Structure 1
Amino acid sequence: MNVRPLACALIACLIAMPHADAQKKRAAKPKAPAAPTACSDFYASANADWLRSNTTPPASGSTSALEQLAARSRQQQLELLDAASKSPQNNVQKLLGDFWASGLDEAAVERDGAQPIAPLIARIDAIKNAKDIPPSIAALHQVGIPVVFNFGADVDLQDLERHIGYFAQGGLGLPDPAYYTRNDADTQALMGRYRNYIEKILALTGTPEAQIKTDAQAVLDLETRIATASKSLIDLRDPRANFAPVDTKTLAKQYKRLQLGDFLKAQGVTDDRVSMANPQLFTQLDTLVGSLKPAQWKAYLRWRVGDAMAPYLAKSFRDAEFEFRGRVLRGLAAPQSRPQQVLDAITLAAGPMVGHEYAARYYSPATDKRAEDIAKQVREALGQALDRDTRFSAAAKAEAKTKLDRLKIEVGTPNRDLDYTVQPMGRGSFGSNMLIASTWRHREEMKRIGRGNADRRWDVLPQDPSLAYDITQNRLIVTAAMLQPPVFDTTKDAAWLYGSYGALVGHELSHGFDNRGRYVDSKQELRDWWTPTETSAWDGLSKRIAAQYSGFDYPELKGVKVNGAQTADENIADLAGVELAWSAFGSAEPSAAKPAQQSFYKGWASLWPQRMTEEIARQRAATSVHAPGQWRTNGPLRNQPSFGEANACKPGNAMQLAADQQVRLFP
Structure 2
Amino acid sequence: DKAALATTLGGTLRADVDLLNATNFYTDRLFGVWVSVDLLQPDRNAPYLVQGGLGLPDRDFYLQGGRMAELRKQYQAYIAQVLQLAGVADPAAKAQRILALETKIAQAHATQEETNDVAKGANAWKQADLNAKAPGMDWAAFLAGAKLGEQQDFIVWQPKAVAGISRLVATEPLDVWKDYLAFHALDRAAPYLPKTFADARFAFHGTTLNGTPQQSERWKRAVDDSNHAVGEAIGKLYVERHFDPATKARADEMAKNIIAAFAKRIDALAWMSPQTKAHAKAKVAGLTVGMGYPETWRDYAGLEIKRDDALGNAERAEQFEYQRNIAKLGKPVDHGEWAMLPQTINAMNVPLENRLVFPAAILQPPFFDGAADDAVNYGAIGAVIGHEISHGFDNAGALFDETGKLHNWWTADDLKKFNAAGDALAAQFSSYQPFPGVSVNGRLTLGENIADVAGLATAYDAYQLSLQGKPGQTLEGFSPDQRFFLGFAQAWRSKAREQALRNSLLTNVHAPGQFRALTVRNLDAWYPAFEVKDGQKLYLAPDKRVKVW
- 1:96-175 maps to which residues of 2 (within 5 A)? 130-141=2-13, 147-154=29-36, 156-175=38-57
Partner of 1:624: 511
| Residue identity in the other structure for 1:137 | L
CA distance in 2, matches of 1:613, 1:205: 34
Alignment of 1:245 with 2:132, yes or no, is no
Identify if the C-alpha distance between structure 1 residues 627 and 638 changes in structure 2 by more than 3 Å, giving closer, same or farther: farther
Partner of 2:84: 203
Partner of 1:384: 264
CA distance in 2, matches of 1:582, 1:427: 51
3-state SS in 2 of match to 1:607: helix
CA distance in 2, matches of 1:274, 1:381: 38
| Residue identity in the other structure for 1:638 | A
Alignment of 1:312 with 2:195, yes or no, is no
3-state SS in 2 of match to 1:508: helix
| Residue identity in the other structure for 1:506 | G
The CA deviation at 1:317 is 0.5
Contact 1:473 1:524 (8 Å CA) reproduced: yes
Contact 1:419 1:444 (8 Å CA) reproduced: no
Match of 1:434 among 300, 306, 314: 314
CA distance in 2, matches of 1:569, 1:202: 41
3-state SS in 2 of match to 1:608: helix
- 1:358-373 maps to which residues of 2 (within 5 A)? 358-373=238-253
Identify if the C-alpha distance between structure 1 residues 604 and 505 changes in structure 2 by more than 3 Å, giving closer, same or farther: farther
- Which deviates more from structure 2 when the two are superposed, residues 455-464 or residues 562-571? 562-571
Identify if the C-alpha distance between structure 1 residues 485 and 599 changes in structure 2 by more than 3 Å, giving closer, same or farther: farther
| Residue identity in the other structure for 2:213 | A
CA distance in 2, matches of 1:198, 1:613: 27
| Residue identity in the other structure for 1:403 | K
Partner of 1:492: 372
TM-score normalised by L of structure 1: 0.62
- 1:4-153 maps to which residues of 2 (within 5 A)? 130-141=2-13, 147-153=29-35
CA distance in 2, matches of 1:474, 1:221: 43
Partner of 2:468: 590
Partner of 2:349: 469
Contact 2:8 2:142 (8 Å CA) reproduced: no
- 1:332-411 maps to which residues of 2 (within 5 A)? 332-411=212-291
The CA deviation at 1:247 is 1.8
Partner of 2:389: 509
CA distance in 1, matches of 2:418, 2:375: 30
Partner of 2:20: none
Alignment of 1:284 with 2:154, yes or no, is no
Contact 1:236 1:242 (8 Å CA) reproduced: yes
CA distance in 1, matches of 2:69, 2:446: 41
Contact 1:466 1:482 (8 Å CA) reproduced: yes
3-state SS in 2 of match to 1:595: coil
CA distance in 2, matches of 1:607, 1:342: 34
The CA deviation at 1:221 is 6.2
The CA deviation at 1:257 is 7.0
The CA deviation at 1:483 is 0.7
Contact 2:474 2:480 (8 Å CA) reproduced: yes
Contact 2:122 2:155 (8 Å CA) reproduced: yes
The CA deviation at 1:237 is 4.6
CA distance in 1, matches of 2:5, 2:426: 56
The CA deviation at 1:310 is 1.0
Provide, for residues 80-108 of structure 1, a one-character-per-residue CA deviation record: whole Å limited to 9, x for no partner: xxxxxxxxxxxxxxxxxxxxxxxxxxxxx
CA distance in 2, matches of 1:555, 1:302: 40
Contact 2:105 2:165 (8 Å CA) reproduced: no
- Which deviates more from structure 2 when the two are superposed, residues 530-539 or residues 412-421? 530-539
Alignment of 1:529 with 2:401, yes or no, is no
Match of 1:321 among 191, 201, 219: 201
The higher-RCO structure (CA 8 Å, 6+ apart) is 1
Identify if the C-alpha distance between structure 1 residues 179 and 440 changes in structure 2 by more than 3 Å, giving closer, same or farther: same
3-state SS in 2 of match to 1:141: coil
The alignment covers a number of residue pairs equal to 523
The CA deviation at 1:239 is 4.1
Alignment of 1:275 with 2:162, yes or no, is no
Identify if the C-alpha distance between structure 1 residues 599 and 244 changes in structure 2 by more than 3 Å, giving closer, same or farther: same
Provide, for residues 125-148 of structure 1, a one-character-per-residue CA deviation record: whole Å limited to 9, x for no partner: xxxx55544443344336989644
Contact 1:503 1:604 (8 Å CA) reproduced: no
- Which deviates more from structure 2 when the two are superposed, residues 255-264 or residues 426-435? 255-264
Contact 1:379 1:509 (8 Å CA) reproduced: yes
Identify if the C-alpha distance between structure 1 residues 138 and 491 changes in structure 2 by more than 3 Å, giving closer, same or farther: same
| Residue identity in the other structure for 2:47 | G
Provide, for residues 452-481 of structure 1, a one-character-per-residue CA deviation record: whole Å limited to 9, x for no partner: 437464444332222343334322221211
CA distance in 2, matches of 1:628, 1:432: 42
| Residue identity in the other structure for 1:141 | L
Structure 2, unaligned stretches of length 5 or more? 17-26
| Residue identity in the other structure for 1:590 | Q
Contact 2:11 2:142 (8 Å CA) reproduced: no
Structure 1, unaligned stretches of length 5 or more? 1-128
The CA deviation at 1:200 is 2.7
CA distance in 2, matches of 1:203, 1:239: 42
TM-score normalised by L of structure 2: 0.74
| Residue identity in the other structure for 2:84 | A
Contact 2:116 2:444 (8 Å CA) reproduced: no
The CA deviation at 1:179 is 6.7
The CA deviation at 1:450 is 4.8
Identify if the C-alpha distance between structure 1 residues 317 and 578 changes in structure 2 by more than 3 Å, giving closer, same or farther: closer
3-state SS in 2 of match to 1:624: coil
Contact 1:255 1:286 (8 Å CA) reproduced: no
CA distance in 1, matches of 2:456, 2:120: 36
Identify if the C-alpha distance between structure 1 residues 640 and 533 changes in structure 2 by more than 3 Å, giving closer, same or farther: farther
| Residue identity in the other structure for 2:50 | A
| Residue identity in the other structure for 1:151 | V
Identify if the C-alpha distance between structure 1 residues 406 and 179 changes in structure 2 by more than 3 Å, giving closer, same or farther: closer
3-state SS in 2 of match to 1:323: helix
Provide, for residues 232-263 of structure 1, a one-character-per-residue CA deviation record: whole Å limited to 9, x for no partner: 66654534434432223666899797353663
Provide, for residues 483-541 of structure 1, a one-character-per-residue CA deviation record: whole Å limited to 9, x for no partner: 11232211234555445433432343234345554322334333443335535765787
Between the two proteins, what is the percent identity of the paired residues?
A: 27
| Residue identity in the other structure for 1:159 | Q
What is the root-mean-square deviation of aligned Cα atoms in Å? 5.2
